[in-house]
Homo-oligomer: A and B are copies of this chain.
């Protein structure tokens, strides 16, 4: 008998029928003697529909005006609130006592980075009280409130952040992440047809994979799970197949050299040229960008002969509208001769595995496979358990398959 936090993504709660199916999973866990907390996302494409509504309202005379982010979060937070109420009703209709909470109602306090807020604290006592009374507790994923009571959302995959944060503060035995796929795959199965479901993967591998474009679990959700050592099982809400367990590293996992491969499909490289080469300048640049809540991918700096530096970094294509005004402002402040250029049409392909730490030749094997496929590598970055190559966007899917083949990821370990 333990405490389980279950999370159901948008596709798993898209209809009344699916909500009932999710409710039955919670009930099943209760019947096995567990206390159950359920985190839900907005139903199906609700969030997209709300974004579409906002775009309609924010288009005046054919011109799109970006909505205030606070109001966008005010709008989007309604999606999950609908689902929690319906989930509580479904449990009640099936004869079980349940109570639903918005992020604000369980004191899920975040910073005020609207649209990308970070969780600061959760009033877990309120949840424990309801569990003690025999209730199933339903919590709205993806949302919180600032200390002043403004609604915030946690960014893409934010419901997973809610799942893991609850798992941590409630000291849950497991966080079950129900989604529309069977688990974590060796690569995106929509691109690599012979991709294989992974049975167990370490937090670090998952971090690298999600950081490099695998979209099932958001990076910060995994970071949190690692920090508090909360096991996550990623499962399919549509079947009873065992999923992928995301756990702390152990000895037996080291013999797997490469666990998976990932692709970031659409990147832009920002290059700032002729930056005065004085101490602290890079810190200033990236502090400015970070204060605008933009996530920077790889960074490269070269010092030139004329005592200036070129600094490049990549960002998601979708973040361009956010980053351009910030960088342009920065360039104005730095003054001549510093200038900026933006290169789009890029992608990044990565191979990830804890076994890299103890095995050699992984990088060579990856570069050779790409070279054999005549895919040009523009840039390379590595970590202890990851190798990434920046390539042309149009080569992305093929490069992912080539790497998958090179490490024979389709074969069970």
Chain A interface (Cβ < 8 Å from any Cβ of B): 16, 19-20, 50, 53-54, 56-60, 65, 67-68, 70-72, 74-75, 77-78, 81-82, 84-86, 88-90, 92-94, 99-100, 102, 104-105, 149-151
Check A105–B65 contact: CB distance below 8 A. no
Check A82–B75 contact: CB distance below 8 A. yes
Task: Report the Cα distance A204→B71, complex, angstroms.
Answer: 39
Task: Report the Cα distance A53→B74, complex, angstroms.
Answer: 22
Check B78–A92 contact: CB distance below 8 A. no
Task: Report the Cα distance A85→B151, complex, angstroms.
Answer: 11
Q: Which residue of B lies closest to A72 (CB)?
A: B85
- Given the interface pairs A16-B53, A65-B92, A104-B104, the reply to whether A75 lies near B86 with Cβ below 8 Å is yes
Check B67–A89 contact: CB distance below 8 A. yes
Check B65–A74 contact: CB distance below 8 A. no
Residue from the list B56, B71, B89 in contact with A68, Cβ < 8 A: B89
Task: Report the Cα distance A19→B105, complex, angstroms.
Answer: 29
Check B149–A58 contact: CB distance below 8 A. no
Residue from the list B54, B84, B104 in contact with A86, Cβ < 8 A: B54
Task: Report the Cα distance A232→B77, complex, angstroms.
Answer: 33
Check B88–A74 contact: CB distance below 8 A. yes
Check B104–A82 contact: CB distance below 8 A. no
- Given the interface pairs A89-B71, A92-B65, the reply to whether A16 lies near B77 with Cβ below 8 Å is no
Q: Which residue of B lies closest to A80 (CB)?
A: B78
